[in-house]
Amino acid sequence: MKIHEISGQTGSSRILVGRVMDTITQYLPNGSPLIILTDDNVRHYYEDRFPPAQTIITMGTGEGHKTLDTVQMIYERLVSIEADRSIFLLGIGGGIVCDITGFVASTYMRGVRFGYMPTTLLAQVDAGVGGKTGFNFMGYKNMIGTFNQPELVVCDPEFFPTLSPVDLSCGFAEIIKHAAIADHSYFEILENFDIKKQMDDPGVVEDIVHRSVMIKADIVNRDERERGERRKLNFGHTLGHALEKTIGMPHGEAVGIGMMAAANLSLEKNLLQPGDVLRLKNLLESFHLPTAVDLDVSKVMDALARDKKKEGKMIHFVLLNGIGKAVIESIYLDVLEKVLFKKQSA
């Protein structure tokens, strides 16, 4: 097992990577009544391995449940069991469960202690680390939320065998992103990783999760509130979020397409070589991620125009200045539109 500590302005976080599921109780705070927050699906598969808890609160599965209604349901349950500030809230589930758990913990009685046991590869390398919490509102993703570090994050690869192939690939999209923006040697390791043969090797998978957690934690440590450095983690996400919204593509797949578009834009600006764009494309494909999609440019532009990262007619866009090095540039929306149109007609 590997332990990684993050200390930020909003608190510090201890991240455990390894086979911890069955011994998690020893890492939970003594004397705090444990309340588990999970979803139907995770409860169905793993309830018998949950640590002993005072109450288990279950929400529905999927993005459609990342809402104020779900938050309200949880507040009501907490009030009805007379939960006070001494509780420890543990979210066991994917990114949605983690984000909602963090938000409820940030706001219930002005804040209670909390942690996550992310059950998907995507959540372990992404939502579990970094302290962003929240839910979707009026059609906008993560419109309401807080920055707040979970005290404890447990990343156990034992959950992966029940993930669907799409969920696995989506996790790898985020992992490829970490390598592309921050670590060329990690990118090479991934180029040599065989998802068919090596997923069953817990040591190898643990190393990958740990490496991604370290990259994300390192960036977050330097810029917890996303004023500069942290924006690099949005590589592939600006277009990705627009695709999720317009054609309902799964997050990781949409980010894969977004990374390809950003790579092509980087090529256009002479920051990236054609060979590097091809390496990214091959790597995404080796993890069964799509690299092209039919998109309705006007709908996508419409969604981009409402992006949180937009400032006037420009949008902050993360480009690659070689593999392993990200740069942030302000791009005019109409320039972006041209690149997207060009891709369409090519």
Q: Which of 43, 65, 66, 132 is catalytic?
A: 132
Active site residue 211: no
CA distances from 136 to 65, 148, 242, 247, 343 (A): 9, 17, 14, 17, 30
Q: Which of 65, 66, 211, 230 is catalytic?
A: 230
Q: Which of 113, 148, 174, 211 is catalytic?
A: 174
CA–CA gap between residue 117 and residue 251 (Å, rounded): 20
DSSP codes joined into one string, 210-271:
HHHHHHHHHHHHH-TT-SSGGGGGGTTHHHHHHHHHHH---HHHHHHHHHHHHHHHHHHTTS
Place of tokens 């590869």: 121
Q: Which of 151, 206, 224, 226 is catalytic?
A: 226
Q: Which of 43, 66, 178, 216 is catalytic?
A: 216
Question: Under a CB-based contact definition with an 8 Å cutoff, are residues 134 and 142 in contact?
Answer: yes
Active site residue 226: yes
333 by Cβ neighbours in 10 Å (0-12 / 13-18 / 19+) ranks as: middle
Active site residue 210: no
Active site residue 234: yes
Question: Under a CB-based contact definition with an 8 Å cutoff, are residues 275 and 248 in contact?
Answer: no
Active site residue 44: no
Q: Which of 82, 110, 227, 270 is catalytic?
A: 110
Q: Which of 43, 237, 279, 281 is catalytic?
A: 237
CA–CA gap between residue 159 and residue 31 (Å, rounded): 28
Active site residue 237: yes
Q: Which of 43, 113, 231, 241 is catalytic?
A: 241
Active-site amino acid positions: 110, 132, 174, 216, 226, 230, 234, 237, 241, 251
